[in-house]
Amino acid sequence: MKPVRKAVLPVAGFGTRVLPATKAVPKEMLTVFDRPALQYVVDEAREAGIEHFVFVTGRGKQAIEDYFDKAFELETTLEAKKKDAILAEVRAAALPPGAASFTRQQAALGLGHAVLCARDMIGDEPFAVLLPDVIVNGKGGSCLKQMVDAYNEVGGNIIAVDEVPQERVNQYGVIDPVTAGDAGPLVKMKGMVEKPPIDKAPSRLKITGRYILQPQVFDLLATQTPGAGGEIQLTDAMQRLMSSQDFHAFKYAGQDYDCGDKLLYLEAFAAMALAHPELGAKAKAVLEGVLKKG
Ligand code: UTP
């Protein structure tokens, strides 16, 4: 079985739900406490052993390419001023030479279309897709690391899921399990449903924005017709792939935060501030102070 070495990060969307913040700043670069959302996602993938990152960008997304480059003037200045701690953090953000590729999605035709743009760069091997506006705070290892470990056991295709209360299933894409009520973290799938009515949902397992896919999905994406919202949907191509390949949902340990909506972004910001290893306790006092002020 070929290992999962490469990841696709689609970053070409407009981020309309968080406008005007995203008018001149890519959504994936919005600050979540002390770093861009994308930094958390890249760190998650690096922890999982990802060696090559394919960013699918678009017009107005240059900040992303600059962020993962060496910042020569900045680093020289920090070095001269002996600001060693912050210099180390700045340097850690850059990716190793040759580890990042950038391709442009010329028009935001949908997530499936964005993934298809990475086809040549991925080639004939399994790969991860990480939606970079979702931060996952994994417990006992990053979410993608947990998924790669599961992949090394069962192969095929894997979709990260998280259990949500029944009354909220109609807000998400949920998976359709082969057998209801599987207790373990891996659940064999037979389908997916987007925003099902509460009483008709096939499960409470919400699709979270992390995938491990086989390269055959590209053949299907290439012929995929527009689906929901007139966009070429990754979900539709995965659904077709399911007729010839195994798909497992994987209940990762941890918590996900969506930065693509104004209020959820606020939640992500507060959660990452509270989870900060050095500043978490102080951040808590600040947040409590804000609530007291009313
Ligand atoms: P979203 O649907 O959350 O992003 O896609 P969006 O389209 O930017 O958001 P809204 O709905 O307008 O507010 C998830 C990820 O897929 C990327 C986005 O950049 C985001 O990181 N994406 C989406 C693309 O790269 N291309 C697309 O055509 C659509």
* pTM, 2 dp: 0.94
Which of 265, 269, 272, 267 has its CA nearest to residue 19? Answer: 265
Domain ranges of the chain: 6-293
| Alpha-carbon gap, residue 273 to 117, rounded angstroms | 34
Six-digit token pair at 149?
A: 């470990």
CA 12–ligand 1 middle distance (angstroms): 6
Q: Can you tell me which atom of ligand 1 is nearest the CA of 113?
A: 28
Beta-carbon count within 10 A of 244 CB: 9
Per residue in 256-285, pLDDT (tens digit) is 999 999 999 999 999 999 999 999 999 999
209 touches ligand 1 (CB under 6 Å)? no
What residue ranges of the chain have pLDDT lower than 50?
none
Asked if residues 4 and 50 have their Cβ atoms less than 8 Å apart, the reply is yes
pLDDT of residue 60: 87
Which residue type occupies 89?
E
15 touches ligand 1 (CB under 6 Å)? yes
| Alpha-carbon gap, residue 6 to 96, rounded angstroms | 14
pLDDT of residue 94: 87
Domain 6-293 matching CATH 3.90.550.10: the answer reads yes
Per residue in 132-167, pLDDT (tens digit) is 999 999 999 999 999 999 999 999 999 999 999 999
